[in-house]
Structures are given as structure tokens and as C-alpha cells.
Amino acid sequence: MYKLKEITDKISWNNFIVKSDFEFYSFLQSWQWWEVQKDIGKNIIRYGIYEWEDIVWVFLLLKVRAKRWSYYFIPHGPLINRDFFKVLWAIFPELQELARQDKMDFIRLNSPVKNLLTNKNAFRKLWCMNAPMHEHVEDSHLLALDKPQEELLAQINKKDRYYINRAKKEGVEIRKNNSEDHIATLKELHIKHSKGQANGKYNYHAFSESFIDSLYKHFDDSEIITISASYEWKVESILMTIQFGNRTVYYIAASDVVHKKFSPNYLCQWEAILHAKENWAKLYNFWGVSPDDNPKHPIAGVTKFKRKFWGYDYSLLHAQDYSLTWKYYLNWCLESLRRKKRGYYYKKPE
């Protein structure tokens, strides 16, 4: 018999996830991430599923209330250390009832299961369907950090290793700290970069300054780090990584590269990988990549850069929706139009 209970203890929550060492998990299910969500006005609940007195499942439930519809959203969860679908099928009716009581229009699960046809069919048995649009990363690029530094560097293409070594010889300065001025530089360049005001062709929605500040507020210096590469006193590349357990995520980055002959982006990224390894991370997650090598995909450019550092692609099953009211289908139409306009598409289950 499985029981659904709210969890209010940070240590118990994070320890369960880290010690379970799931094949795929991210900071999106950490206690800290959801404190960030609270800061930006989101309503959250942390649930645990218990079998007798043993916890077998945790998930952070985000209540999204928009003007036209409301829904439950579970990013990169639930995390279950037993048979995933056995537990999900057992508890799903209770989750549906909670959603109905909260007057939700649908439930969206961005689950941590692989993009396999067997997993897709298991969700079909729950009457779930593909979400029209992703909300968080589903296709990511991972690098195992269990090899010596020399071997990790040797895996990188000779041409790309040249950029790293040339930048060192040219005296590119690497800075690693979370000082106020360093964070301010990250925010400033991130906004400039998103508006296409830096060198290169970019146009995307930037994170707000208050959101970035909240990340530094709730993740401590052993978990979050700002790394930059400067040449002749000018920051040409800067990034932020977040570590949860033994997983490090390359989360926010921006650049204004002037010296392309030894592009500081490469050295900055390499130093971030080394920092994660020194901090006992087992995996470095480059975060979102395109599902294929199509140069027309919206993130094809940054994907090509991320894959240069070796590693392998990891594909989660596309987000699954469970409809509760007719409003879901209105949402489906509008989000589908938005996805097509942006040019996104998703990998079919294998």
C-alpha cells in the first residue's frame, strides 16, 4: 500500500535523491530549486510516496495558474527507486483527485524515464498524451568524469584542443568565484547576449536578474559557481554551473568573443568541466541540445559547441499530459502553434 505524504525536511529530501543515485536526475528536483520557484511567486508542494515506512518516490509539484488554464507540473520527476510505472499506476488516481480538487485543467509530467517506446506505451495506459511543448530539458549531452584530466582533454578534437591550449598561451585569465561584481557581469552579459548585442547571432528570452539572484541565494558556493574567461581585461566568456549531488549542470552562459583565433569560450567551458571534476561530480550535464544534427534547429549552434567536448546524448521521454477539462485542448492548440513558430520538434521514442 502506497501513501502520499508531504515532506517538509530539506535534509531527508535531498539525501533520498542523492543516495539513490538515479540514472538521471537534476537540480530541478532539489529542495533549493523549489525555494527559487517560491521566490518568483510559484506555488509548490513537496510530496513523498511511502510504502509502509519506506520512502520510494519523491516529486516536487508545481501549481501553475495562468489566465486561461491551470495545471500541475512535475519537472524531471517523479523520482522512484522501485519499478517506476508500478508505483506511478498505483498513485496516479490520487494525483488526479488532488488535481481535480485544486480545479486543475491538466497534469504535465516531464519524467526522468528514457525516450523508449515501452515507456511511451506505459503512459498511454494512463491515458496520457504528448505535451505540445517542452518546458525543461529533454535532450541533453552528458560527459562522464571518471577519467583522468589528460584523457578527457585527449577525447576532444585536435582543432578544438588547439583553442584551449592557445587561449592559455595567449594569457586568457580564468576567474572562478561568486563575488557580487562577477555575478553582475554574468547578468549584464547574459541580457546583452540574449538580445543579439554581443558578437554572434543570438535571440532568446533571458532569465531575469531577480531569478539569477535567487539561484545564488539558495544554492551555496559549493553548489553554484561563476566562471569567466577574460583577455586584456575584457570578459569574453562567462558561465554558471549548478551541482546537485554528483551531477553538475552547465546552466547559464553568455559570450562576447572578440578574439576568435583562440575563442575563450572553449577554455571557459573546459575550466567548468575541471571544476566539476574537482568537486567530485560524476557527470557533467551540458543541458539542452537538439535531438539531431539538423542545422535549422533553433539551438543547433550551441548544440554543435557542446558536443565538441565529447560525451554522449541522453534523451528523456517527451513530456506527457493528462487532460482533466476541455481547457486543456485550447492550451494544446496554442502551445502547438508556439512550438511550430519557434521551430522545435522532438525525437521519436526508440
pLDDT tens digits for 232-269? 999 999 999 999 999 999 999 999 988 888 889 999 99
- Mean pLDDT is lowest, of 68-77, 81-90, 175-184, for 81-90
pLDDT of residue 52: 74
- Rounded to an integer, the average pLDDT of 267-290 is 97
- Dihedral sign, Cα of residue 59, residue 244, residue 110, residue 63: positive
In CATH terms, 2-137+316-342 corresponds, of 3.40.50.10800, 3.40.630.30, 3.30.70.3190, 3.30.420.40, to: 3.40.630.30
- pTM for the structure as a whole: 0.93
Q: Is the pLDDT of residue 202 over 70?
A: no
The cell for 205 is 528570452
Q: What is the pLDDT of residues 283-304, one digit of tens each?
A: 999 999 999 999 999 999 999 9
Cβ atoms 175, 230 nearer than 8 A? yes
pLDDT of residue 4: 74
Q: What is the pLDDT of residues 90-123, one digit of tens each?
A: 889 989 999 999 999 999 999 999 999 999 999 9
pLDDT of residue 164: 96
Q: Is the pLDDT of residue 339 over 70?
A: yes
Q: What is the pLDDT of residues 16-60, one digit of tens each?
A: 899 888 899 999 999 999 899 999 888 888 888 777 777 777 888
Place 12 in a pLDDT band, splitting at 50, 70 and 90.
confident
Q: Taking the domains of the chain in order of start, what are their residue ranges?
A: 2-137+316-342, 140-314
Helix axes 180-194, 209-218, angle to 10 degrees: 140
Q: Is the pLDDT of residue 201 over 60?
A: no
pLDDT of residue 289: 96
Cβ atoms 280, 243 nearer than 8 A? no
Place 7 in a pLDDT band, splitting at 50, 70 and 90.
confident
Higher pLDDT, 20 or 277: 277
> Domain spanning 140-314: which CATH class is it, in words?
alpha beta
CA distances from 50 to 5, 30, 114 (A): 7, 19, 24
pLDDT of residue 209: 95
pLDDT of residue 66: 83
CA distances from 197 to 106, 266, 323, 328 (A): 39, 21, 41, 38
